[in-house]
Structure 1
Amino acid sequence: MTTFGLDGLARKTGAVSRSISAENPTGEKSAGGRATEGTGAVAASRLGLGWKISPSIDIPAGETAELARIAGPGTIRHLWCTTAPHQAWRGTLLRIYWEDEAEPAVEVPLGDFFCNGWNVFSQVSSVPVAVNPNGGFNAYWPMPFRRAARITLENLSAEQMTLYYQVDYELGDVPEDATYFHAQWRRSHPVPFGEVHTLLDGVEGAGSYVGTYLAWQVNSPGWWGEGEFKFFLDGDDEFPTICGTGTEDYFGGAWNFDVPGQGYTAYTTPYLGLNQILRPDGLYLSQQRFGMYRWHVLDPIHFSADLRVTVQSLGIGPGQGNGLPHRYRPTSDDIASTALFYLDAPSSSSRPVTPDLLTLEVD
């Protein structure tokens, strides 16, 4: 297995590099660029074989495309994809299966997996996830597997979508202690008043929590991000072992993300960011909406038996700024979360019910 870090680039390894795309759907050696038909065939008709005849695939409405099927052992190193601009980012489900399991370890809307949950492009400049103009999605989470890996994309939207994609991986030994990459998507639409949004519940086994992306719609006036993140580890019941101090604090910001004179201020850094701020326009675009991420790459949250993660939908009520003490108040915001973790099992009994299109829709 390739060693991470720049020093590792200089080391000789027994790993074999492979890549799957529409130009080489099997990833086999010397099998790239051999297509004789595909989405680029008309444009390349005068150029001939090997000249971008199959750069993408079409996925009809309601159908699922298998993007990759890989025999292990190996490790997926990089995922890249793009669609027609903003096409069905929330209306498609990315799934990844390990070791021929029937249930996916990853089941997340395409846009949310890449920190773009609102069908509007947002730049992301982080270490494991990069999103670049105009809708170039990249993920560098290492994904080891032993026998088999399978990646699919289901198009739940009403229109055919065109997908360009590439799966870069290496074949080679996987360490005995390597765990499996998981990602779960959940939405509270909205959070019931006085309750919390649950990101994970009932995860059993040993592993590490490594990342959070939230697509948050504010449904009440005033400041919305007082809610604490709570991590219930290894038998925690009513009270968590890890408890944060506020939503903007968890994402590495402070004081409401509010820079005096300019208001909410976006930022994107290697491990955390408020990458998206969508403001209402007073006409058709209603509600303030945000996208934010935190990657626990340098500070993974380890668990040995079980894990539950929640965040409070909590704001500040009238009083602040008027010479009166501010008051916390529960809110009923619309929160969609993507929780990323590694687990010592290729699938998890904690997987939530697969969302339908009504749950996925941005509204």
Structure 2
Amino acid sequence: MTLGNLTGISAISAARTRSISAENPTGEPGQGGRRTEGTGARAARDLGQGWKVSPSIEIGAGETVTLADIAGSGAITHIWLTTHRNHWRQLVLRAHWDGDEAPAIEAPVGDFFCSGWGRFAQVNSLPVAVNPNGGFNCYWEMPFRSQARLTLENTHDEPVIVYFQVDYWLGDVAEESAYLHAQWRRSNPLPSKTTHVLLDGVEGPGHYVGTYIAWGVNSSGWWGEGEVKFYLDDDEEFPTICGTGTEDYFGGAWNFDLGVERGGYAEFSTPYLGMPQVIRPDGLYASQQRFGMYRFHLPDPIRFSSKLRADVQALGWRSGGRYLPLQDDIASTAFFYSSRTSTNRPEAPTHDVMEIC
């Protein structure tokens, strides 16, 4: 991967850049700004065609719309999207590669962009940037060889307005390029003395490149003592990769805690890892702590040949220096590349399962 590396940016390429939005829904050359109807038609009524007539789309209740349907070979390089924060957990983003009816990406919009709690928090990572006030950006490389199709499903019972842009290039794709996948799972609450599954039975070859978790704490005390484990290929009961604690996996230490005199938990956001969101109890209805954390394995991808399984424990402390298994609300989005256009995945997210509570 060359994310964050400017080497080669000066090279001339035979690839052709294209962009899809509500102003150019096909991405074809010279077709942007031609719309005469759209969500901005009334505002542009004195100006006419070419003056922001169609800046967004409306998705009806229960409707699925196609954001982009691209024929040929190439790669999506950037997605920008925004909608009201109330809808971040009501819209499901899906990506299908090369005509596969099964999605490789299937996740709530907010979680895909590291914003699982429906509240804005600045994210400054390399593959995902979230900017004021809810500007979602991703720079994951998403290659395809014959077709790329992106859709949005509105699981809400009311229409939703969405602004978006999908930037991509058309051209030859390297033989070794794999397909981007993203899978979302939620344990709410996590059953007693079990682990939260990040991935299960994913087929390769491929490499794991990122984790985002929206973690809701359902008890008092420290909540992140659990280990993150990756079971590679022929691993069964015991994993090849076993971390030392949840905050350690996300790049922090000692409970993320700076001490009461320095504010306790400290939000942070860096190119590869961060905890950009800490939602603190307000003394009234928001009684529980909630956290949003990411780790992107860009310089350190976890490579597997045939299968991959991953999970995280939820552990706190009880008296006598003993671990306390927790039953927290854990929603995870796992990002990985696979040579397959689709692989084992959980059931599709539904409105009831995604609901923030």
Structure 2 residue 52 is matched with structure 1 residue 58: no
Q: Percent identity?
A: 62
For residues 29-65 of structure 1, give each alpha carbon's deviation from its aligned partner in whole angstroms, at most 9, with x where no partner exists.
0000000010001101111110100000001111011
Aligned residue for 2:299? Answer: 298
Mark the runs of 5 or more structure 1 residues left unpaired by the alignment.
320-325
For residues 296-337 of structure 1, give each alpha carbon's deviation from its aligned partner in whole angstroms, at most 9, with x where no partner exists.
000000000100000001112235xxxxxx321111011000
Provide the C-alpha distance between the structure 2 equivalents of 1:18 and 1:132, rounded to a whole number of angstroms.
24
Provide the C-alpha distance between the structure 1 equivalents of 2:306 and 2:298, rounded to a whole number of angstroms.
21
Provide the C-alpha distance between the structure 2 equivalents of 1:164 and 1:352, rounded to a whole number of angstroms.
28
Check the 8 A contact 2:108/2:349 in 1, yes or no. no
Provide the C-alpha distance between the structure 2 equivalents of 1:273 and 1:3, rounded to a whole number of angstroms.
17
Check the 8 A contact 2:107/2:349 in 1, yes or no. no
Aligned residue for 2:203? Answer: 204
Aligned residue for 1:353? Answer: 347
Structure 2 residue 337 is matched with structure 1 residue 342: yes
Give the deviation of 1:351 after TM superposition.
1.0
Mark the runs of 5 or more structure 2 residues left unpaired by the alignment.
none
Aligned residue for 2:156? Answer: 157
State the secondary structure of the residue aligned to 1:7.
Answer: coil
State the secondary structure of the residue aligned to 2:353.
Answer: helix
Aligned residue for 1:5? Answer: 5
Q: What pairs with 1:301-312 in structure 2 (closer than 5 Å)?
A: 301-312=302-313
Check the 8 A contact 1:87/1:161 in 2, yes or no. no
Aligned residue for 2:81? Answer: 81
Provide the C-alpha distance between the structure 1 equivalents of 2:106 and 2:275, rounded to a whole number of angstroms.
23
Provide the C-alpha distance between the structure 1 equivalents of 2:287 and 2:98, rounded to a whole number of angstroms.
44
> Structure 1 residues 102, 50: CA separation in 2 closer, same or farther (over 3 Å shift)?
same
Structure 2 residue 163 is matched with structure 1 residue 169: no
AA partner of residue 332 (structure 1): Q
Give the deviation of 1:87 after TM superposition.
2.9
Structure 2 residue 102 is matched with structure 1 residue 106: no
State the secondary structure of the residue aligned to 1:339.
Answer: strand
Give the deviation of 1:72 after TM superposition.
1.8
Aligned residue for 1:267? Answer: 268
State the secondary structure of the residue aligned to 2:89.
Answer: coil
For residues 217-262 of structure 1, give each alpha carbon's deviation from its aligned partner in whole angstroms, at most 9, with x where no partner exists.
0011100000100000011000000000000000000000000221
State the secondary structure of the residue aligned to 1:256.
Answer: helix
Provide the C-alpha distance between the structure 1 equivalents of 2:230 and 2:335, rounded to a whole number of angstroms.
13
- TM-score, length of structure 2 as denominator length: 0.97
Aligned residue for 1:323? Answer: none
Check the 8 A contact 1:196/1:310 in 2, yes or no. yes
Check the 8 A contact 2:203/2:340 in 1, yes or no. no
State the secondary structure of the residue aligned to 1:198.
Answer: strand
Give the deviation of 1:122 after TM superposition.
1.0
Q: RMSD of aligned C-alpha atoms?
A: 1.2
Provide the C-alpha distance between the structure 2 equivalents of 1:105 and 1:286, rounded to a whole number of angstroms.
36
Provide the C-alpha distance between the structure 1 equivalents of 2:210 and 2:3, rounded to a whole number of angstroms.
22
Provide the C-alpha distance between the structure 1 equivalents of 2:302 and 2:217, rounded to a whole number of angstroms.
28
Give the deviation of 1:4 after TM superposition.
7.5
